[in-house]
């Protein structure tokens, strides 16, 4: 499958163009103009010449580079490229035009990520909506021992700055990195202290290390 990024100029490789008589010999001197490169876009009823006015250029072994522009790639879905030149076997190439998000997620070396919103879980749309809503209540934090020495029952976080005292009482901290990875504890007290959230909780097996990631659920 060949993919193209929607509304993005690019250069296609067309061919190889082979001699129409023997079907083997590469045709290296064809004149492939704008009018010779016909496109069919998803939902269309006819083929039309490409919008980019640049002719194609032979590179090697009957392969030609062919520039196309943002108008040529403006329609999502299938894009068929058809070229029929006298003396050569006609060629057809099929592409799939995808959104920038999809293309960059697949081929952009980490420049984007696929959007995979929850629609259903266990076949239930309601379950999907409920799961998505429940994640909004999960809070991420990072322990901070810069101005406070954490113990097995108290720690501070400079990434959580909720001003309301007792705001998190009854909720559960789960550590996701560090020596306490996987441990969970119930919050029994909370206050904002010097711009950092201070948590008191049921005793852990050891004092909370600095820069330990955790979530509040």
- CATH of residue 86's domain is 2.60.40
Strand order in the sheet with 2-5: 2-5, 91-98, 77-83, 37-41, 48-49
Q: Is residue 180 part of a domain?
A: yes
* Confidence band for 37, pLDDT divided at 50, 70 and 90: very high
Tokens linked to 122: 């266990």
Q: Is residue 120 part of a domain?
A: no
Domain that holds residue 50: 2-107
Looking at the DSSP assignment, which residues form a beta bridge with residue 49? 38
User: In the chain, how many domains are there?
Assistant: 2
pLDDT at 119: 84
Helix (H) or strand (E) holding 100: helix 100-107
Q: Are residues 103 and 10 in the same domain?
A: yes
Question: How far does the chain reach from its first CA to its final CA, in angstroms?
Answer: 43
- Is pLDDT of 212 > 80? yes
- From 61, 92, 107, the end of a domain falls on 107
Q: Is the peptide bond before 103 cis (omega within 30 degrees of 0)?
A: no
Q: Is residue 129 part of a domain?
A: no
Q: Are residues 101 and 178 in the same domain?
A: no
Q: Is residue 16 part of a domain?
A: yes
* Confidence band for 112, pLDDT divided at 50, 70 and 90: confident
What pTM was estimated for this model as a whole? 0.66
Q: Are residues 29 and 81 in the same domain?
A: yes
**Interatomic CA distance for residues 42 and 101, integer angstroms:** 19
Mean pLDDT, all residues of the chain:
95
pLDDT at 118: 81
The contacts of residue 156 (CB under 8 Å, 6+ apart) are: 143, 144, 145, 147, 148, 150, 193, 196, 197, 198, 199
pLDDT at 78: 98
Q: Are residues 72 and 145 in the same domain?
A: no
Query: Three-state SS for 95?
Result: strand
Q: Is residue 119 part of a domain?
A: no
């Amino acid at each position: 499958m060949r993919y193209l990024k929607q509304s993005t100029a690019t250069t296609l490789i067309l061919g190889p163009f082979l001699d129409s008589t023997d079907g083997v010999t590469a045709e290296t001197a064809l004149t492939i103009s704008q009018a010779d490169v016909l496109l069919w876009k998803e939902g269309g009823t006819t083929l039309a010449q490409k919008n980019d006015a640049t002719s194609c250029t032979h590179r090697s072994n009957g392969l030609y580079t062919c520039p196309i522009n943002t108008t040529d790639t403006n329609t999502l879905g299938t894009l068929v490229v058809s070229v029929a030149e006298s003396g050569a076997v006609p060629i057809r190439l099929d592409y799939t035009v995808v959104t920038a998000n999809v293309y960059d997620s697949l081929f952009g070396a980490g420049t984007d990520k696929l959007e995979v919103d929850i629609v259903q879980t266990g076949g239930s749309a309601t379950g999907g909506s409920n799961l998505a809503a429940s994640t909004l209540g999960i809070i991420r934090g990072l322990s901070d021992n810069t101005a406070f020495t954490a113990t097995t029952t108290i720690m501070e976080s400079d990434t959580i700055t909720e001003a309301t005292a007792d705001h998190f009482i009854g909720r559960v901290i789960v550590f996701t990195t560090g020596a306490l990875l996987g441990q969970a504890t119930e919050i029994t007290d909370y206050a904002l202290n010097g711009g950092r959230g201070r948590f008191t909780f049921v005793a852990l097996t050891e004092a909370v290390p600095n820069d330990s990631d955790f979530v509040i659920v």
